[in-house]
Structure 1
Amino acid sequence: MTSLLFLIPIALGMGLLGLAAFLWSVRSGQFEDLDGAGARVLFDDGHPLPVPASQPAKEKHCD
């Protein structure tokens, strides 16, 4: 029973800390654009990146 005297305040404190973190993230706009990142991946331009000069280009071999 004495362990409950320590565990209940710790659990309540962790719950309040989680609630505070959630409210901070809502107020700072973390949940404003939930679909934007997924749409940016789908509608990416798709241009291949240029090969840097330090790396040799891959050669195509026909067998």
Structure 2
Amino acid sequence: MSVIYVLLAISLVVALLFFIAFVLSVRNGQYDDAYTPSIRMLFEDDLVKEMPEDTDLNEKKSN
């Protein structure tokens, strides 16, 4: 039973170390993306809304 307490303590220490490392890397800008915003305008938008079809325009096109 005492092994469970030791393993639980070790796992909490390791988890805390990983959390501290993550917070430090975020604060230092490790995950900042400086490249994508500059080329974002080159990508097509996936959410293009189609204009509703007007019956008057369709009739003029077919004539």
TM-score by length of structure 2 reads 0.52
Distance 1:11 1:36 in 2: 37
Structure 2: gaps spanning 5 or more residues? 39-63
**How much has 1:20 moved relative to structure 2?**
0.2
Greater Cα radius of gyration, structure 1 or 2: 2
Equivalent runs, 1:1-63 vs 2, <5 Å: 1-33=1-33, 36=35
Structure 1: gaps spanning 5 or more residues? 40-63
Displaced runs of 4 or more, over 4 A: none
RMSD over aligned Cα atoms = 1.9
* Number of aligned residues: 37
**How much has 1:11 moved relative to structure 2?**
0.3
Distance 1:32 1:16 in 2: 23
